Chains A and B, each alone.
Chain A
Amino acid sequence: MAVAEMIKSIAQAPEKEYYLPGHRTCAGCGPALAYRLIAKAAGKNTIFIGPTGCMYVANTSYACGPWAVPWTHAQITNGGAVGSGIEAAFKMMIKKGKIQDEFPNIIVMAGDGGAIDIGLQAASAMMYRGHDVLFVMYDNESYANTGIQTSPATPYGATTMFTPAGPEIPEAKKFFPKDPMALFCGGGHPEVKYGATASVSYPIDLMNKVRKGLAYEGPAFLHVQCPCPKGWTFPADRTVELGKLAVEVGMWFLYELENGVKKFSYTPKKLKPVEEYLQTQGRFSHLQPEHIAKLQAWVNAKAQNLGLEVPLPPVR
């Protein structure tokens, strides 16, 4: 692993922007903030692959885009595969002397659908084969580009266009989300030496994790929570606030898995009740006490499974 230069404070964060003003993302868009911070951390020698999703459609409307570095579209299905091909091509062309390029940072920016639903196969295969690619799952917890529909990252109890609440289904979404870190970094993909969760609300941590992932030779995975004011239904100015609250209540955990060793990046002193988080978002406004209790039990179990040793709220 090459040594990544770490950023210690906001003051040290690189000035140079590679994700520029001028994109059709929502006011207060969490994923756009993630893109900006990731591009900033990665720097000039970077190629982005953008599978279909909000960060494709909103960023490239129309016949233009906000990236100062090379960017290419991939289908929502094949971000991992297109990334693999690009990486293999650079490796071989450099080896043969056909091009004089320095091997670039190759980053796939997949949404939750493009990472763990329809794009899962390509992502998994890319990691299995050990391509030197950073696979970022920017997680806004729904298929947002199509107008907010459920994905395997949508939390239990959230309303989406495909999971409305009604008398027959009072809790709206019935399933609990997939765990991408367990899927990709739980030992099933031996080439993945580095995986981490991050949040746009912790930008220094996020940027350093990008650099760490890029410094590792081989695939790395980054799961970034990106609050989505449209999909979650909250005022656009609260994006960062909600990302922080998610961590305070345990709807998001910040940790790294480096060579199989888990390390929490930040832990609250105690978890706040999940209800405090649910109240802030329209997508949870229909939930009844029994649903909230079910969600609290899930949060508590997840905290325990991860080994978070802080006081947990009671399940009522």
Chain B
Amino acid sequence: MSKVYKQVPFAAIVPSPTVANEGMVTGNWRYLRPVVDKAECTQCKTCWVFCPDACVNMSADEGVSFNLKYCKGCGVCSNVCPVGAISRVPELDFEE
């Protein structure tokens, strides 16, 4: 066999992920990054509930943060925010 194929498990049955699907990392889809203004944020969780990609994280200490490894930058969070606390900033304005 000269060509090395991508191997797939028996009958293409693959284990379910537990935290995130490492097989499809979508952070490089984003060209506008969501940025939360923590002073404005009321922690109402509206952005959290509406994120199609489950990329909004909430914590009592940190408040709202985004899973930038997977966030596609759709902007739904910014659109639904009742207090306008989430802005969308060009991704290339950030080094990382």
> Which A positions have Cβ atoms within 8 angstroms of B?
10-11, 13, 17, 19-30, 32-33, 36-37, 61-71, 200, 203, 235-241
Contact = CB atoms under 8 A, between A and B. Distances in A.
B55 interface: yes
Interface of chain B, main secondary structure: loop
A245 B41 CA distance: 25
Interface of B: 6, 8, 12, 14, 16-26, 29-30, 44-46, 48-55, 67, 69-70, 72-76, 78-80, 88
A236 B75 contact: yes
B54 A64 contact: no
B54 A20 contact: yes
User: Which 5 interchain pairs have the tightest Cβ spacing?
Assistant: A22-B21, A64-B23, A237-B75, A21-B70, A28-B74
Contact of A70 (B16, B29, B49, B67): B16
B21 A241 contact: no
B20 A10 contact: no
A26 B52 CA distance: 9
A10 B49 contact: yes
Nearest to A33: B52
9 contacts: A13-B45, A22-B23, A22-B24, A25-B52, A33-B50, A36-B53, A68-B18, A236-B76, A239-B52
A11 B52 contact: no
A21 B26 contact: yes
B76 A21 contact: no
Nearest to A238: B79
A23 B78 contact: no
A19 B54 contact: yes
Given A27-B72, A64-B23, A239-B76, A21 B49 contact: no
B17 to A, nearest CB: 6
A47 to B, nearest CB: 11
Contacts of B45: 10-11, 13
A63 B8 contact: yes
A236 B14 CA distance: 31
